[in-house]
């Protein structure tokens, strides 16, 4: 009488565990620099967390243009400096929401506008949780300027969406503001702050701030 060898339940479960273990090793994602040059060139790097970066490297640090993929499904495409999001770029949330603009130290720092006002934005005024595609009001201001702070406070208190361009130490932003003023016909060498752009119209040396602000409601 021919007998057949049967696998006991214990042995069967053991075989399943071994198979799954081997499969996990075989199909697990390779980590580290998986392709290219991740020292000084263009390469792909995968972290143990699953996050992945594809793009330019300098001195073994993310630096230049590239794309960073998060395990959450979020993606950042744009410029990096010394391993941080720095410069122009687009952040895409897992739900498809996008934010395009200027980034500094991994924080959103400025809105890229399709209009002539394309400005940088004070990230403390525009939190990262707020997704805004554009602003109708752009406030050019200086630190310590009471008039500028008065306008910013009014806009916040009245829930008027706006972006802030701090020209105190930003030379490019200051030059941009002066270009807008000159294009509007202003020829003097000094201007009373703040300068406010409302729907692409430039307002400068505003004599009565409260009267002007009342028109924004």
Condensed to tens digits (0 to 9), the pLDDT of residues 63-80 reads 999 999 998 888 999 899
Shared domain check, 138 and 94: no
Shared-domain flag, residues 94 and 183 = no
Opening angle at CA 183, ends 177 and 185, nearest 5: 110
Residues 94 and 171 in one domain: no
The DSSP string of 125-192 is TS-TT---S--SEEEEE-TT-HHHHHHHHHHHHTT--EEEEE-SS-HHHHHHHHHHHHHTT---S--P
Query: Among the three residues 42, 70, 104, which one is the final residue of a domain in this structure?
Result: 104
Q: Which strands sit side by side in the sheet containing 201-203, from one edge to the other? A: 162-166, 137-141, 195-198, 201-203
Least confident of 6-20, 50-64, 87-101: 6-20
Q: What is the pLDDT of residue 7?
A: 54
CATH number, position 56:
2.20.110.10
Min mean pLDDT across 49-53, 186-190, 208-212, 213-217 is at 213-217
Q: Which residues 6+ apart lie within 8 Å of 57 measured at CB?
A: 37, 38, 39, 40, 41, 42, 43, 45, 63, 64
Query: Do 131 and 148 fall into the same domain?
Result: yes
Say yes or no to pLDDT of 104 above 50: yes
pTM beyond 0.75:
no
Q: Is 148 a residue whose pLDDT tops 60?
A: yes
Confirm whether 201 is domain-assigned.
yes
Helix, strand, coil percentages for the chain (3-state, nearest 5):
25, 35, 45
Q: Is residue 22 part of a domain?
A: no
Rounded to whole angstroms, the Cα distance separating 108 from 119 reads 12
The model's pLDDT over 54-64, given as tens digits with 9 standing for 90+, comes to 999 998 999 99
Assess if residue 191 is contained within a domain.
Answer: yes
pLDDT digits (tens, 9 = 90+) for 173-190: 888 899 889 988 888 889
pLDDT at 89: 87
Mark whether 159 and 187 lie in a shared domain: yes
Asked if the structure places residue 142 within a domain, the reply is: yes
**Do 89 and 179 lie in a common domain?**
no
Write down the pLDDT at residue 2.
Answer: 54
In a domain, 14, yes or no: no
Pick the last residue of a domain from 80, 104, 128.
104
Q: Which domain holds residue 99?
A: 30-104
Structure token digits, residue 131:
């997704």
Residues 54 and 131 in one domain: no
Contact between residue 147 and residue 192 where contact means Cβ atoms under 8 Å apart: yes
| Contact criterion met (CB below 8 Å) for 57 and 68 | no
Both 59 and 98 in one domain: the answer is yes
- Distance in angstroms (rounded) separating the CA atoms of residues 69 and 77: 9
pLDDT tier for residue 87 given thresholds of 50, 70 and 90 = confident
């Amino acid at each position: 009488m021919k007998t057949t060898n049967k696998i006991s339940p214990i042995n069967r479960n053991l075989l399943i565990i071994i198979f799954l273990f081997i499969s996990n090793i075989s199909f697990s994602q390779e980590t580290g620099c998986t392709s290219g040059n991740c020292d000084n060139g263009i390469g792909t790097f995968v972290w143990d967390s699953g996050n992945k970066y594809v793009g330019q490297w300098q001195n073994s640090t993310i630096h230049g243009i590239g794309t960073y993929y998060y395990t959450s499904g979020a993606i950042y495409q744009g410029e990096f400096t010394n391993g941080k999001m720095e410069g122009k770029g687009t952040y895409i949330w897992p739900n498809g929401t996008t934010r395009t603009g200027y980034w500094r130290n991994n924080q959103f720092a400025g809105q890229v506008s399709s209009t002539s006002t394309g400005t940088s934005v004070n990230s403390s005024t525009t939190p990262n949780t707020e997704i805004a595609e554009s602003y109708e009001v752009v406030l050019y201001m200086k630190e310590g300027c009471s008039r500028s702070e008065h306008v910013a406070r009014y806009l916040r208190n009245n829930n008027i969406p706006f972006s802030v361009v701090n020209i105190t130490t930003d030379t490019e932003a200051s030059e941009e503001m002066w270009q807008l003023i000159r294009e509007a016909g202003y020829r003097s060498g000094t201007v009373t702050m703040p300068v406010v752009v409302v729907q692409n119209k430039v307002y400068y040396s505003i004599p009565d701030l409260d009267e002007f602000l009342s028109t924004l409601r």
